[in-house]
A = this chain, B = another copy of it.
Amino acid sequence: MQKPNQSAQFQNHALFCIGTGRMGLALQKEYQEQLRLVQQEIGFSHIRGHGLFCDDMAIYQCRKDENGAEHTEYNFTYLDRVMDSYQENGLRPFLELGFMPKKMARGAQTIFYWQGNTTPPADYDKWAALIRATIMHLIGRYGREEVAAWPVEVWNEPNLPGFWENADQQEYLRLYDVSARAVKDVLPEMRVGGPAVCGGGSCMPWIRAFLEHCRDTGAPLDFVTRHIYMGQQPSHEGRYLYQEMCDPAYSIHEAEETRELIDSFPEFRGMELHITEFNTSYNPFCPTHDTVYNAALIAGMLARLGDTCASYSYWTFGDVFEEQGVPARPFHGGFGLVANGLIKKPTYWTFRFFKDMQGELLHRDENCVAVRAKDGSLRVIAWNTKAEEKECDLSLPAEDGEWTAVFRTVDENHANPLKLWHDLGEPASLTAEQLSLLRAAAVPGTESRILTAEKNTLNLHLSIGKCAVRAVCLTKRTTETERGYRYPGIGLPDKEDKQ
């Protein structure tokens, strides 16, 4: 066992931000129900996704009158509805500026089933005006102080030609400059960042070029953003994609390298790094997302990413998502923590468990992390990304006496509705009874045990099944037994039966 790094706080920013399908989908009821479910039990602080300026949000309006004169108007009906819903759910947007309104776009290239235009503005002044008007409106509705706390990111994955025409770096830097300045013109306290690149070969050179640009031109920059996905070589079958996942250590290393790159710029040393998207696969029809294996991989990520990153936004909270079309099955490998029908997937629980991991770091290795919370309880999460069972032995500092250990388990037979759905025949439409059973199957196993600490040490032995995640909550046990109540023997049949 490794020696605990005793006095440090566990850097846990797992709940800072969560991803979402395009903003227009936030108008949907199922989206809102999935979001409420996630917020009630997990409670992220921010939410980030595409589509703020896409046409289904209907913000940018340009009409000609009888005389042919052009009138630009901004319509914030839907934006208000979405932002109100976020506020009601305790969320602030992590605003992503994009994509391009059709009537403002230079070109016709689009991405996704929902056809987000991915070309530069035909007129950068109109783009800047749109940004300014939007932020002005938000200030009017939510107040300057509130809006100032919303981070702003410029565009999405411009290093991919699908997301930004020709992956044109110079054009992106221009977009960045105009956008960042438009934001600061209206609300200087608002924090702006980029370049929102996805991983892969061009990622690090792009970040480097972006930082050099900001350093050299003095473009406003408050934080750096990038994405991390763990999927390796893909194969396709029908609308599905299959791929192996790299080890969490590999992805964590990507974050560290980015951290080092930023810190290598004296001007940007220590600047916040936000992973504005991460997940195992980057494809919304990758069946791995629905599995307990996914839950274990993400646990490995959450255990370490906070060391280098200010946030890491899991892509996405729910399965109301249409990038590759409308899913035809409740389980289809979508990104969501929650499947359509409000069924919690295994990875939901990884986040739920990490919610409680606030406090002093007592122990951490490649399969386990342990903290002592403010209230004195000890919290442990262990995971296993391999196909064989693992054993884990921990010695935790603890006051002598009895402790209650509550174990919550996500594995093949617990919190694994995918298996039940498969056993039911992979139905496309769920009956009420099937839905009810799937929800019932989507909860961790819960067990308890009384442990005893001696010599200020609590020894905890944990078996972790293949691809499983387990959480343990340990609290000092004090008994409040009422006079006359004796638990032992309650619920056992009478003696004759026992003999």
Contact = CB atoms under 8 A, between A and B. Distances in A.
Interface of A: 27-32, 58, 61, 63, 65-66, 71, 73, 75-78, 80-81, 85, 137, 140-141, 232, 236-240, 244-245, 287-288, 290-294, 325-329, 332, 340, 385-387, 404, 406, 408, 413, 418-420, 422-429, 433, 437, 440-441, 443-450, 466-467, 473, 475, 477-487, 490-495, 497-498
A98 to B, nearest CB: 19
Give how many copies assemble into the complex.
4
Given A77-B326, A406-B420, A446-B437, A332 B493 contact: no
A303 B363 CA distance: 52
Nearest to A26: B29
Given A77-B327, A340-B77, A291 B485 contact: no
Given A237-B486, A328-B482, A485-B287, A292 B404 contact: no
Given A327-B77, A480-B428, A491-B291, A406 B437 contact: yes
Contact of A448 (B424, B427, B491): B424
Contacts of A63: 238-239
Contacts of A498: 386-387
9 contacts: A27-B29, A28-B28, A80-B429, A238-B483, A238-B485, A424-B477, A433-B473, A445-B445, A467-B492
A497 B386 contact: yes
Q: Tell me what chain A mostly uses at the interface: helix, strand, loop, or mixed.
A: mixed
Given A428-B76, A491-B418, A497 B387 contact: yes
Contacts of A478: 425
Contact of A287 (B290, B443, B490): B490
Given A325-B58, A485-B426, A486-B237, A294 B497 contact: no
A484 B239 contact: yes
Nearest to A439: B446
A411 B287 CA distance: 33
Contacts of A445: 445
Contacts of A245: 493-494
Contacts of A137: 429
Contacts of A493: 244-245, 293, 385-387, 467
Contacts of A441: 446, 448
B293 A326 contact: no
A126 to B, nearest CB: 18
Contacts of A481: 426
B29 A483 contact: no
Nearest to A287: B490
A73 B425 CA distance: 18
Given A424-B475, A443-B443, A467-B491, 10 more contacts: A27-B29, A58-B325, A137-B429, A236-B484, A237-B484, A238-B482, A239-B483, A386-B497, A420-B448, A422-B487
